[in-house]
Amino acid sequence: LQAAEEGVGTCMIGWFSEKKVKKVLNLSKSVKIDMLISMGYPENGEVRKKTRKPIEEIREYY
């Protein structure tokens, strides 16, 4: 949220080579990486507003 407030765009990355990331970042084999988040300033200077469905539309009780 703060990144968007500062005009920084973000993108969660869930599909990546954990082995390659550990090598590039010089991380121990014992470290577990679940997700990466890329950050940067958009070319047009505008961060896209996130749209979400109301919880009532996606929640189900069984």
Give the pLDDT band of residue 16 (cuts 50, 70, 90): very high
Q: Which is nearest to 1 in space by CA: 43, 37, 53? A: 37
Q: Which two tokens stand for residue 5?
A: 């407030």
Q: Which residues form the domain of 11?
A: 2-43
Claim: this prediction has a pTM higher than 0.75: no
Q: Is 22 among the domain residues?
A: yes
CA contacts within 13 A on the Cβ side of 12: 4
Q: Which is nearest to 19 in space by CA: 11, 10, 9, 28? A: 28
pLDDT mean across residues, the chain:
87
Q: Is 59 among the domain residues?
A: no
Q: Is 55 among the domain residues?
A: no
User: Residue 8 phi/psi, 5° resolution?
Assistant: -100, 130
